[in-house]
Structure 1
Amino acid sequence: MVSETDNLLVSLKDVRFAYGEREILRGVNLKVPRGKVVAIMGGSGCGKTTLLRLIGGQLRATAGTVEVAGRNVSALNTAELYEMRRRMGMLFQFGALFTDMSVFDNVAFPLREHTDLPFGLIRDMVLMKLNAVGLRGAADLMPAELSGGMARRVALARAIALDPMLIMYDEPFAGLDPISLGVIGQLIRKLNDALGATTIMVTHDIMESLQIVDYIYFVSEGGIVAEGTPDELRASKDPWVYQFIHAEPDGPVPFHYPADALDESLIGGRAA
């Protein structure tokens, strides 16, 4: 019988993190089971991307533990960390393709860097990954010749080039038109299931995410303020969840940044 612990790929326990004196995360607890697609949502600047960097080992937690595949990321030495990262794929915001490399060479890059495979095998693997995202025919194009949606799909092919156990996405839907957004969303779900991988996705796109993810964590003020399945969150009466899902301008997350009363800030108010 497989225990819950054995089934977890990523686990954050009481994680705290600060940039200098500015605390970003305050006791975050988060679990990502193997094979699932999990979304992390919240307002801008709440620490979502910081969570991805902690999981990938780019940052080390100030307190608490970050475990991936049962290993404490902060305790890994450089060689062990690089070995673990080779089992992770990352799709950066807006794709981050190498602009001076062709589509083919962008996808081939991690294979050339981290394997000793012969050219023929690398070629076949690259074409298979491009075919999976519908862009085998674009292998010889340069990034400047791609639309935004195509560039994101190439970046996705690069992220899965090494058949990772964990794929992380930082705002994969940002700047996409509705058709491209839907295509990317379905690719994320289908590729996760086909590869037997696990996905963590940072996103602001509520409607698309609710269609493809298994579980959602909402982050605010440095902690997890709500979590649940898409159906649970759609039915939630929690003010924070309701505001975020229905895009309400005011609620637990205020529209206005804290400031003095307007009449006290204006010249006329001060004169009075």
Structure 2
Amino acid sequence: MAHREEKALVDLRQVHFAYGKREILSGIDLTVHRGQLVAIMGGSGCGKTTLLRLIGGQLKASAGSVTVDGQDMGQLGTEALYALRRRMGMLFQFGALFTDMSVFENVAFPLREHTDLPESMLRDLVLMKLQAVGLLGGHALMPSELSGGMARRVALARAIALDPMLIMYDEPFAGLDPISLGVVGQLIRRLNDALGAASIMVTHDVVESLSIVDYVYFVSDGRIVAKGTPDEIRESKDEFVHQFVHAEPDGPVPFHMKAAPIGELLMGEGGQ
């Protein structure tokens, strides 16, 4: 979908990252263009969320470069980093709403933090964002009064409050019923297109993701092991992709941790 000749909004080149001696990412190459909705998929603990943190500047790569809108995230000072972050939106896993704030105040929070807008304009912007996610009528509710799907939509309205150039989603479908999942998925697609933004979505939900995204990266053991459009992913003969897409227990990703044969262990137990 994206204009490949244009400079990527997000560009990762040979990115490595480690916690001490434990390597999490090893030689990641990844690009996201404006207008694209890109999914990052893979098993738990493979480094997907670490990628979001690197792109958002919470972490710095051990080697390689992470560039957002032409700026190297590893070289930015605090002031420049915060200025760039104001142009990013983030939807955290399970929404992460402020429980002691109303729906209205949750969405208003980034506007109050990062702008000096008069209250009348701020109010109009918040109501417009809530209208965009179908929750204008719930502006006075508290998070405890919302369903899981409604809370996720409020979090989405908060993520787009500043009309970001880049929106990141960490497991946006986790814990949602099928109807809410479909609603949130279509909202993510429509809002990305309406804003002319780029979106990166870390997710395990293969079916919903392949119906809305433009491109997919599969991560395993800290490396990109497969990538392609939804059609290319569906038709892929790659063993890892096939196992993940079809939720098969047997394949390159083992169900069982490495261990001695259970018979030997049981016999050993019995002999003690």
**Fold shared per TM-score above 0.5:** yes
Q: Which residue identity lines up with residue 121 of structure 1 in the other structure?
A: M
Aligned twin of 2:254: 254
Give the superposition deviation at 1:4. 4.4
CA shift, 1:19, in A, is 1.0
Are 1:77 and 2:77 an aligned pair?
Answer: yes
State the match for 2:60 in structure 1. Answer: 60
Q: By how many angstroms is 1:228 displaced?
A: 0.1
Q: Once the 2 structures are TM-superposed, how far is the Cα of residue 268 of structure 1 from its aligned partner? A: 4.6
Letter in 2 for 1:162: L
SS in 2 for 1:7: coil
Aligned to 1:235: 235
Contact 1:263/1:269 (<8 A) preserved: no
SS in 1 for 2:35: coil
TM-score (norm 2): 0.97
Moved more, 217-226 or 26-35: 26-35
Other-structure match for 1:111: 111
- Which deviates the most, 245-254 or 2-11? 2-11
- TM-score normalised over the length of structure 1: 0.97
User: Offset at 1:20?
Assistant: 1.3
Structure 1 gaps of 5+ residues are: none
Q: Secondary structure at the match of 1:266?
A: helix
Task: Please tell me whether residue 204 in structure 1 is matched to residue 199 in structure 2.
Answer: no
Cα RMSD after superposing both structures? 1.4
Cα offsets for 1:147-179 (capped at 9, x unmatched): 000000000000000000000000000000000
Aligned partners of 1:264 and 1:270 also within 8 Å: no
CA contact (8 A) 2:3 2:33 kept: no
Moved more, 181-190 or 25-34: 25-34
Give the secondary-structure state (helix, strand or coil) at the position aligned to 1:27.
strand
Q: Is the 8 A contact 1:91 1:156 kept in 2?
A: yes
1:166 alignment partner in structure 2 = 166
Instruction: State the one-letter code of the partner of 2:207.
Output: M
Give the letter aligned to residue 251 of structure 2: G
Task: In structure 1, give the amino acid aligned to 2:228.
Answer: G
**Does structure 1 retain, via aligned residues, the 8 Å contact 2:8–2:31?**
yes
Deviation of 1:213 (Å) = 0.1
| Residue equivalent to 1:7 | 7
Q: Secondary structure at the match of 2:9?
A: strand
What is the deviation of 1:271?
Answer: 2.7
| Alpha-carbon distance in 2 for matches of 1:159, 1:254 | 36
Determine the C-alpha separation between the residues in 2 that align with 1:123 and 1:258.
Answer: 57
1:13: how far off? 0.5
1:222 equivalent to 2:218? Answer no
1:26/1:265 CA distance change after superposition, 3 Å = same
Q: 1:7 to 1:258 in 2, by over 3 A?
A: same
Structure 2 distance, partners of 1:63, 1:255, is 31
Q: Secondary structure at the match of 1:167?
A: strand
Aligned mates of 1:42, 1:12 — CA distance in 2: 18
| Structure 2 unaligned spans of 5+ | none
Any idea what the Cα deviations from partners look like across 1:69-107, whole Å, max 9, x if unmatched?
111001000000000000000000000000000000000
One-letter amino acid matched to 1:166: L
CA distances 1:180-232 after superposition (whole Å, capped 9, x unpaired): 00000000000000011110000000000000000000000110000000000
Moved more, 14-23 or 223-232: 14-23
Question: Identity, % of aligned pairs?
Answer: 72
Aligned counterpart, 1:40: 40
Q: What is the CA-CA distance between 1:264 and the residue it aligns to?
A: 2.1
